[in-house]
């Protein structure tokens, strides 16, 4: 380049024509550039072979990559090592889950794979560190969870819940003595709030479908339907994002619409449900993927379990949320199915009306019961205790002369213990009524799986009496120390909030508690790979 400048100066000194000068300078510059290029090594890509070596050792995506705990892989973002990372379900991996998990068809799997490959999250071969709190999880983990399929999400959550250590029980909304394990419940509940999505089938015509009954002793199924279908938090319109599928029918409305009075024939109801499920299985791919194991139904009528018998998968695989939670008949399966609290709602516009009770010092009655004489337990109760003891107010239907002095709710509010015997079936609305009126429930129903027993410790706030011990009922109650009774009665008051229906659901109320039990049942189906 120096020679070029010198030449140009010489031309200028001799006053060469400027146009000729430009041509000559351009030629000299091109010659100089070509000379510099000729001195570079050939080929250019041989300059640094170490770079190619590093790239060729990278494992491609969509393979079963297992990372050692001591190693860290950087792919745009360096991920933190996860505790027991080899156990995690990896994205795009060959890790196999249990048959009970959803196995989507080829088209759905291909669609999900395309979405992953178009996202930066598809580069994550192992999840980020688990959060200390579910309420505020890191953005990196948020993106990771969004990249998972519904069942991969459930596997991740289940593993996290199982590894939850004892957490502080300073949550003002929860009272630890009521729960079997408050730490696992709280962790599971928070994950449910953050992640759970339910797909509600739109098929089916009212009144059997989508038309809840909000009053009477079967109102639990109606209130759940009303609040579930109206939920913006949990309901999804995209079934591919759903962790659970809801069959939105009312067992009570089904009975009113199809049962022929005094026929004692439930088969028309069973056939109707069988045909409904077969229609869903033919119209959508979701039932057949899991044979119904990620579907659930909610039925409070006594016949709820029996009208499922015409469809094998419906009765065997679905999560059945039933008031008639009788473990002895082989239909309700404890640990998989959910015992639904039976609630009596007299005024749907004011479901919380008349709730509350008197102080312990204002409860002179030891035990109270009033109701129809049917089933196997109530006749025995009346035989041994009706009009036998002033401290034991045991009636059939409450006599009019008695109601003039004290109403049914006033009796419960004035009693230390409220007797809750089974009727035709094991369930009784008196259990929740006792909780509403802050009276310690005394449950007499062998083989009854108590409501929400997946998380609640019923020994902390109720008395369980075997049917054979009815003759010793007063003796059993008097043997309970005053200190223990006071503790149970306090626990009943603290429990009350978990059994209240709210027009707009609030945290930890009965709607959320039922939904959590369904969520918990679905999590229990997930089989995690055994660590080597």
Backbone angles phi and psi of 138, in degrees to 5:
-60, 150
Rounded Cα gap, residues 406 and 411, in angstroms: 6
Closest CA to 516 of 438, 452, 471, 437: 452
Which of 221, 80, 107, 83 has the alpha carbon at shortest distance from 163?
Answer: 83
For residue 130, what pLDDT is reported? 67
Q: In 3D, which of 141, 225, 231, 240 has the Cα closest to residue 191? A: 141
DSSP character for 467? G
In whole angstroms, what separates CA 448 from the centre of its chain?
23
pLDDT at 45 (0 to 100): 39
Axis crossing angle, helix 219-229 with helix 251-258, rounded to the nearest 10: 120
Q: Which long-range contacts (CB under 8 A, 24 or more apart) does 132-138 make?
A: 133/190, 134/187, 134/190, 134/191, 134/193, 134/194, 135/190, 135/194, 137/194
Name residues of the chain where pLDDT drops below 70.
Answer: 1-26, 28, 31-131, 165-170, 531-532
Rounded to 5 degrees, what are φ and ψ at 224? Answer: -65, -45
Phi (first) and psi of residue 365, to 5 degrees: -85, 130
CA atoms within 13 A on the CB side of 435: 27
- The answer to whether the pTM exceeds 0.85 is no
Q: How many CB atoms lie within 10 A of CB 48?
A: 8
Q: Which of 449, 227, 499, 199 has its CA nearest to residue 337?
A: 449
């Amino acid at each position: 380049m120096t020679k070029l400048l010198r030449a140009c100066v010489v031309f200028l000194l001799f006053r060469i024509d400027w146009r000729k000068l430009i041509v000559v300078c351009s030629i000299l510059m091109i010659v100089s550039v070509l000379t510099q290029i000729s001195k570079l090594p050939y080929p250019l890509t041989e300059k640094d072979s170490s770079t190619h070596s590093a790239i060729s050792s990278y494992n491609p995506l969509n393979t079963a990559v297992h990372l050692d705990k001591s190693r860290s892989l950087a792919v745009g973002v360096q991920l933190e090592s996860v505790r027991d990372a080899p156990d995690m379900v990896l994205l795009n991996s060959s890790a196999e889950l249990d048959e009970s998990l959803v196995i989507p068809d080829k088209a759905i799997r291909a669609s999900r794979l395309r979405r992953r490959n178009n996202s930066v999250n598809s580069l994550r071969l192992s999840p980020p560190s688990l959060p200390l709190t579910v309420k505020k999880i890191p953005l990196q983990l948020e993106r990771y969870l969004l990249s998972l399929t519904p069942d991969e999400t459930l596997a991740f959550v289940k593993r996290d819940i199982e590894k939850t250590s004892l957490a502080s029980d300073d949550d003002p909304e929860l009272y630890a003595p009521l729960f079997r394990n408050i730490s696992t419940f709280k962790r599971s509940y928070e994950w449910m709030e953050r992640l759970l999505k339910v797909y509600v089938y739109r098929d089916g015509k009212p009144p059997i479908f989508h038309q809840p009954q909000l009053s009477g002793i079967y109102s639990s199924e109606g209130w759940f339907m009303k609040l579930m279908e109206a939920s913006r938090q949990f309901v999804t319109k995209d079934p591919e994002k759903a962790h659970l599928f809801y069959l939105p029918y009312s067992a009570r409305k089904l009975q009113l619409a199809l049962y022929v009075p005094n026929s004692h024939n439930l088969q028309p109801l069973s056939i109707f449900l069988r045909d409904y499920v077969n229609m869903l299985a033919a119209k959508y791919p979701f039932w057949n993927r899991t044979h119904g194991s990620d579907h659930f139904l909610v039925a409070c009528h006594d016949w709820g379990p029996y009208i499922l018998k015409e469809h094998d998968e419906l009765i065997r695989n679905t999560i059945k949320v039933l008031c008639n939670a009788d473990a002895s008949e082989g239909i309700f399966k404890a640990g998989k199915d959910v015992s639904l609290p039976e609630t009596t709602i007299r005024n749907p516009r004011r479901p919380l009306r008349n709730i509350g009770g008197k102080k312990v010092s204002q409860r002179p009655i030891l035990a109270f019961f009033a109701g129809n004489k049917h089933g196997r337990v109530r006749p025995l109760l009346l035989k041994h205790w009706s009009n036998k003891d002033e401290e034991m107010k045991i009636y059939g239907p409450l006599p009019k002369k008695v109601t003039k002095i004290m109403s049914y709710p006033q009796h419960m509010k004035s009693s230390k213990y409220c007797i809750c015997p089974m009727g035709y079936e094991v369930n009784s609305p008196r259990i929740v009524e006792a909780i509403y009126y802050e009276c310690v429930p005394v449950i007499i129903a062998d083989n009854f799986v108590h409501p929400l027993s997946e998380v609640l410790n019923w020994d902390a706030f109720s008395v369980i009496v075997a049917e054979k011990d009815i003759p010793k009922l007063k003796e059993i109650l008097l043997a309970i120390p005053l200190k223990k009774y006071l503790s149970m009665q306090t626990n009943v008051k603290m429990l009350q909030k978990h059994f209240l229906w709210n027009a707009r659901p609030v945290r930890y109320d009965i709607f959320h508690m039922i939904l959590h039990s369904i969520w918990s049942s679905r999590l229990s189906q997930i089989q995690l790979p055994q660590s080597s």
